[in-house]
Chains A and B, each alone.
Chain A
Amino acid sequence: MAVESKPLETVLPAAHVEEDPREHLMFDPRPREEMNRMIMEAMTTTSRRYWAWVIGLALVVLICLFGAWGNMILTGMGLAGIRRPVFWGLFIVTFVFWIGISHAGTFVSAILRVFKAEFRRPFTRASELMTTFGLAAGALFPLIHLGRVWVFYWMIPYPNARWLWPNFRSPLVWDFLAITTYLLSSTIYLYLPLVPDLAMARDRTTGWRHTLYRLLALGWRGTEAEWHRLRRAITIFAFAIIPVMFSVHTIVSWDFAVGVVAGWHSTIFGPYFIIGAILSGVAAVVSILFVLRSTMQHMDYFIRKEHFDALGKLLLVFSMAWAYFFFNDYLLTWYGGEEAARRILTLHATGPAAWVWYLMLICNVLIPWLTLWNRTIRRTPWAMFIITLLINVGMYAERYTIIPLTLGHQRMPFDWGVYTPRPTEISIVIGTFALFLLLYLLASRLIPLVPVWEVQEGQMAHTLRRVGKAEVPSVTELE
């Protein structure tokens, strides 16, 4: 049988449109001077709309957070809806939510830094700020939940008036130590890579800003020794803060899991909480990046569709991991057949607040799985903004399901009850959201939100190399 030869061009695949590598920030360098100018303009430009937001949020913080909290301190905890059998309500739900959000900075900055994921460079600081402010908002809730906040220092490990030391076996002391450690270390981790950018700001400002940046820059000049010790410190922090991050949310999960409460006493709660925290944290980073890109000058140069795309892929993976842990927890509890736990599962899915449970599954699983596989959606910032907001709604619903909806139906049916959040609690929760946004808004005009030196370092390491007829992206190891 004769073999018929075909002309070469007919067997070649149709030419496809390739993405221009210059669409990526790392392959689209601009002079350092110009990048500095862009960041300084973004930082020092304020509009009337900005100040309107600042004043509005400050009022919300004043009235909803401090007003309602002050009223609760004066009147008593009866203003909150927490009462037998549900003693952990919206305060603890929101506490867990904020601690979860705070995992964003460490994940994006430390883990991606350790793995040298280059796309992280322009938004590490934006996410580290989320960690610090998320923890600040979250750390308020143990104080609010205390009721008698004026004796908060009883949580600090020192002997009290009767010379008794705090019980270090208590998960509440673990919480105190873990949150303090994480808050301090994440604040320092935010500050260290900021020093060279503060020096840059010092060189370009006058007046009070110059004084502030000069003070904070610690006399930074950028000598070899300074860079060497800064990099060493950042490396130590990047590696050390990862287990601290894991420990924080694990300890938060142990607040629940160490109790012999049906629905809580689970060995998988630690990793289940961590994966949920990373899912909600990364989702919040995407939401914040969209807002920064839409509202601040020049941010569209630094924060690009490629970043939404990369974070979207991560979100899809974390959503799948969350679903895996959720199913693992659900299946074993259901299969075990313990009466109290089985009733709780039934209640979650069919009880009067079942919509919260379904909302959790829809927002955390269905929506990400239906959308984030699609590259076009991942590269559409406003779509990502909506999806990530919904993921965080889902994560809030998850915490609500785990805490008050589980506590209200324990082993003694005569002691069942339904928890309904009261206006004071809702007001305080709204107040902490406003506090987070207000702190972020103020910080956005005080510190460079993009680590310019890290971006420039990345751009110097990335080049386009011609291989045959194609220009191929290549990365050089400069360290």
Chain B
Amino acid sequence: MGANVVHLALFKETEIDHAAEAISRLHALGVSDHDISVISGIPYSERILGRPMAWTTVGRIGLAGAVVGFLVAVFLSFGTPLLYPIRVAAMPFQPIPTSIVVIFELTMLGLLISTFIGVFVETISPSFGPRGYHPKVSDGHIGILFSSPAQIEEDIHAALRALGAEIVHNVEEERLWP
């Protein structure tokens, strides 16, 4: 069997039913979900296109950041007076009510910053699906990226063209903006 070739089938967003059907036909022709990637200008839920559920660790990274923020705040509020004690008459040494403010702010800061870092890390981390892009995607097209063995290329193209797809070759990202 020859090397897999990456192709992009473009559908107008008004023809989303055809795009969903095209994914079913790719499955029928032996292309697995692993070799398919959908790109679009607006978000579509997985069930609309019959795709497996996407997975992300952004929430967990955010939670971890919140825990770190909380611990930093606890250190600043309760640890620093222990390290460098200044005792003032009639003033509590480690007051809880005022510390709640610091703990809340730093916990939220940890949550929000790490959520953003999570998005950033996942964006730049390696992708294992077919990679490619076409500027028409942001102009109201749904792109179905798929890689398939060269032998069944013609069958796939015929099946997708019958659904109104525009097939684009050479969609590898690095060639887009030299």
Residues of A near any B CB (own CB < 8 A): 31-33, 36, 157, 159, 163-165, 168-169, 173-174, 177-178, 180-181, 184-185, 188-189, 191-192, 196, 199-200, 202-204, 210, 214, 218-233, 236-237, 240-241, 243-244, 247, 251, 453, 456-457, 460, 478-479
Proximity bits, B44-86, A CB within 8 Å = 1, else 0: 1110100100111011001000000000000011001101101
Is B21 located at the chain interface by the 8 A CB criterion? no
Chain B: minimal CB distance from A366 (Å): 36
A191 contact set on B, CB distance < 8 A: 116
- The answer to whether residues A478 and B45 also contact, given A157-B76, A168-B76, A200-B138 and a CB cut-off of 8 A, is yes
A243 with B46: CB separation less than 8 A = no
The 7 A-B pairs at the shortest CB distance, nearest first, are namely A32-B140, A228-B54, A203-B135, A227-B43, A165-B80, A200-B138, A185-B112
B41 with A233: CB separation less than 8 A = no
Tell me the bound Cα distance from A230 to B41 in angstroms.
13
Tell me the bound Cα distance from A196 to B54 in angstroms.
18
- The answer to whether residues A178 and B105 also contact, given A36-B138, A224-B46, A233-B115 and a CB cut-off of 8 A, is yes
Is B173 located at the chain interface by the 8 A CB criterion? yes
- The answer to whether residues A164 and B86 also contact, given A225-B54, A229-B58, A233-B118 and a CB cut-off of 8 A, is yes
Chain B: minimal CB distance from A231 (Å): 6
**Complex partner residue of A243 from B39, B108, B135, B137, CB under 8 angstroms:** B108
B84 with A163: CB separation less than 8 A = yes
Is B95 located at the chain interface by the 8 A CB criterion? yes
B51 with A184: CB separation less than 8 A = no
B43 with A241: CB separation less than 8 A = no
Closest to A179 in B: B105
A237 contact set on B, CB distance < 8 A: 112, 115
Is B38 located at the chain interface by the 8 A CB criterion? yes
B62 with A236: CB separation less than 8 A = yes
15 further A-B pairs in the complex, CB-CB below 8 A; given A453-B41, A456-B140 = A163-B84, A164-B86, A168-B99, A184-B109, A185-B109, A185-B112, A200-B138, A221-B173, A227-B44, A232-B59, A236-B111, A247-B108, A453-B42, A457-B43, A478-B44
B59 contact set on A, CB distance < 8 A: 232, 236
Q: What is the size category of the interface that chain B forms with chain A?
A: 35 or more
B105 with A247: CB separation less than 8 A = yes
A236 with B115: CB separation less than 8 A = yes
Tell me the bound Cα distance from A251 to B139 in angstroms.
45
Is B13 located at the chain interface by the 8 A CB criterion? yes
Chain A: minimal CB distance from B144 (Å): 11
Tell me the bound Cα distance from A159 to B108 in angstroms.
23
Interface members, chain B 102-140 (any A CB < 8 Å): 102, 104-106, 108-109, 111-113, 115-116, 118-120, 122-124, 127, 129, 132-133, 135, 137-140
A168 contact set on B, CB distance < 8 A: 76-77, 80, 98-99, 102
- The answer to whether residues A174 and B39 also contact, given A32-B139, A240-B112, A241-B112 and a CB cut-off of 8 A, is no
A173 contact set on B, CB distance < 8 A: 102
A188 with B116: CB separation less than 8 A = yes
Tell me the bound Cα distance from A203 to B45 in angstroms.
24
A169 with B124: CB separation less than 8 A = no
A224 with B120: CB separation less than 8 A = no
Tell me the bound Cα distance from A203 to B102 in angstroms.
44
Proximity bits, B23-45, A CB within 8 Å = 1, else 0: 00000000000000111111111
Tell me the bound Cα distance from A214 to B177 in angstroms.
9
- The answer to whether residues A231 and B119 also contact, given A33-B140, A174-B101, A244-B108 and a CB cut-off of 8 A, is no
Chain B: minimal CB distance from A142 (Å): 16
- The answer to whether residues A224 and B140 also contact, given A177-B106, A230-B119 and a CB cut-off of 8 A, is no
